[in-house]
Each structure stands twice: as structure tokens, then as C-alpha cells.
Amino acid sequence: MRVYLNFLPFVLPYYHKRKKEQRKVRNLKTVIKKLGAEVIAGDQDAIKALNIYLIVSFLSDTNADIEALVTQGRELLDQIKKLPAKTDGTYEEAMTKAKLLLNQIS
């Protein structure tokens, strides 16, 4: 028991840092999914908000998980920006691809 108590102060900073990183990843994932759903629904303000959020997240953190999420969010945003007009025959296919990208965010 004594060895464990002597080791505990060295483990706690790592533990708290890891939990903080996990919360950042979870929160980013939640925001991308929420704003992505609003973007797919056609909200123009959500496009701007998602773009800004992705840029700030990329610049503020160097975690590999966050970089992967930012890349997935950027792919979704690019797909939404390339959507054809609703009257075009390929609109449904492009929208299905965008929804698939949104569901693949993990």
C-alpha cells in the first residue's frame, strides 16, 4: 500500500491530462455532429459556425484524434459546399454522401 501511495502523485497529472484530452475530443465530435446536421438541413449560419469551429480546433490543439476529427469535419463541409442545386438529378446522391460522411464521424 505504501508503494502505491508514493506512486500516486506521479500518475494523477497524467490521468487528468488524459481525461481533459478525452473531453476535448468528445466535445468536438458532438459539435461537429450537431452543426453537421444543421448544415445538412440547410442552415447557412451553421456552415459558417462549423467552418470557424474547425479552424479554431485545428489551430488550438495538436492531438492526433482532434486532427482526425477536424479532417472528417472538413470533408463533410467540402461535400456540403459542392452540393448541386436541388433540381439537379445528382442532388440526392450528393446529399446521401454528405449524410454518410456525417454518420462516419467517430
pLDDT digits (tens, 9 = 90+) for 37-91: 999 998 899 999 999 999 999 898 778 999 999 999 999 999 998 888 888 888 8
pLDDT, one tens digit per residue, over 14-30 is 888 888 999 999 999 99
What single string gives the DSSP state of each residue in the chain?
Answer: -HHHHHHHHHHHHHHHHHHHHHHHHHHHHHHHHHHHHHHHHT-HHHHHHHHHHHHHHHHH---HHHHHHHHHHHHHHHHHHT---TTSTTHHHHHHHHHHHHHH--
Output the pLDDT for position 37: 93
Q: Can you give the pTM of this predicted structure?
A: 0.81
Q: What is the pLDDT of residue 6?
A: 60
How many domains does the chain divide into? Answer: 1
pLDDT of residue 75: 94
Residue ranges making up the domain that contains 89: 5-102
